[in-house]
Amino acid sequence: MSKGEVIVVGLGPGSADTVTPQAGAALRRATDVVGYGPYLARVPAVEGQTRHGSDNRVELERARHALELAQSGKTVAVVSSGDAGVFAMASTVFEALEGARGKDYGDVDVSVVPGISAMLAAAARTGAPLGHDFCVISLSDNLKPWTRIVQRLEAAASADFVIALYNPTSKERPTQLNKAFDIIRKHRDPITPVIFATAVTRPDEKIETVPLKDANSVEADMRTIVIIGSSATRMIERDGRSAYVYTPRYDMESVR
């Protein structure tokens, strides 16, 4: 039997018009679609296509299932929100492939279709806050210790990166975002812009920009991307509308 393929697809941040043509084509030609239930619900139905939904915290099992389906000759789309390579399923599929423990997936082709990440969508909604050097950190300690997260926050804040935070808070982690703000406040001006972008591109989208001194976890949930400016980040006020937030492409030290 000829072996199939696994295509890891990024669905974009939420709205249908942020799904790229490449992602749409991959979804249409898949015989099977594997993913977290709410993400599967965003995939348009295709006649004859089989869907395999699962819970949010079984990523490795989901990836192994996709490889098994492909081994039997299926063309399998594994879906993730945003970009599949950013805190999502692409790395998990390769982890499953590497740790196959003797199973022969050697002829299964794995490819990754990029998507628009929530971070990039949030940045576009507000201006250009990621216009210069930035870093991305997940505040979830489900797959790494909180002590490691603290080390990375300290390093990023002291190096004056713009910082984008994924997974900022949840019912199980209600205090970590405020702890992150406390770390960053040691290195940033109190008026540094902080963007809270929730449900970006979806009907219930909410975006707010506040100074770092006023930033609080009550503005965030698991659908929120938080972007904290660097010392160079600027705001352009507009009458009756939200200010633009941008970070110049030049390094301020180089023009002094």
Q: Which residue has the higher pLDDT, 145 or 104?
A: 145
Helix (H, G, I), strand (E, B) or coil at 190: coil
Lowest mean pLDDT among 1-10, 42-51, 230-239: 1-10
pLDDT-derived band at 199, boundaries 50, 70, 90:
very high
Who's near 93: CB < 8 A, 6+ residues apart?
Answer: 6, 8, 63, 66, 67, 78, 110
The answer to whether residues 16 and 57 belong to one domain is: yes
The answer to whether residues 245 and 162 belong to one domain is: yes
Residue 196 has pLDDT above 60, yes or no: yes
Are 163 and 134 in contact by the 8 Å Cβ rule? The answer is yes
The answer to whether residues 24 and 48 belong to one domain is: yes
The answer to whether residues 148 and 251 belong to one domain is: yes
pTM beyond cutoff 0.75? yes
Residue at token pair 């909604």: 125
Residue that finishes a domain, picked among 96, 116, 136: 116
Q: Which amino acid is it at 159?
A: A
Distance between CA atoms of residues 156 and 137, nearest Å: 9
Are 93 and 110 in contact by the 8 Å Cβ rule? The answer is yes
Are 165 and 123 in contact by the 8 Å Cβ rule? The answer is no
Residue that finishes a domain, picked among 85, 116, 147: 116
| Range 180-199 average pLDDT | 96
Distance between CA atoms of residues 239 and 115, nearest Å: 34
The answer to whether residues 131 and 245 belong to one domain is: yes
The answer to whether residues 103 and 190 belong to one domain is: no
Q: For strand 224-228 and strand 162-166, is the pairing parallel, antiparallel, or unpaired? A: antiparallel
The answer to whether residues 153 and 36 belong to one domain is: no
Structure tokens at 154: 């300290």
Q: What are phi and psi of 87, to 5 degrees?
A: 50, 45
**CB count, 10 Å around CB of 6?**
29
- The domain in which residue 13 lies consists of 5-116
The answer to whether residues 147 and 24 belong to one domain is: no
| Range 62-79 average pLDDT | 94
pLDDT-derived band at 254, boundaries 50, 70, 90:
low
**CB count, 10 Å around CB of 104?**
9
Residue 54's pLDDT is: 87
- Count the alpha carbons within 13 Å of 100 in the hemisphere toward its beta carbon: 15
Residue at token pair 């395999």: 52
Residue 255's pLDDT is: 52
Q: What are phi and psi of 228, to 5 degrees?
A: -110, 125
Here the CATH number for the domain that contains residue 89 is 3.40.1010.10
Residue at token pair 């599949």: 84
Here the CATH number for the domain that contains residue 140 is 3.30.950.10
Residue that finishes a domain, picked among 91, 116, 141: 116
Q: Considering its fold, how many domains does the chain have in total?
A: 2
Q: Which residue has the higher pLDDT, 148 or 102?
A: 148
The answer to whether residues 154 and 74 belong to one domain is: no
The answer to whether residues 123 and 249 belong to one domain is: yes
Residue 253 has pLDDT above 70, yes or no: no
pLDDT-derived band at 112, boundaries 50, 70, 90:
very high
The answer to whether residues 83 and 131 belong to one domain is: no
Residue 102 has pLDDT above 70, yes or no: no
Residue 105's pLDDT is: 72
The answer to whether residues 111 and 146 belong to one domain is: no
Distance between CA atoms of residues 16 and 14, nearest Å: 7
Residue 172's pLDDT is: 84
Distance between CA atoms of residues 18 and 123, nearest Å: 14
Residue 250's pLDDT is: 80
Structure tokens at 96: 């499953």
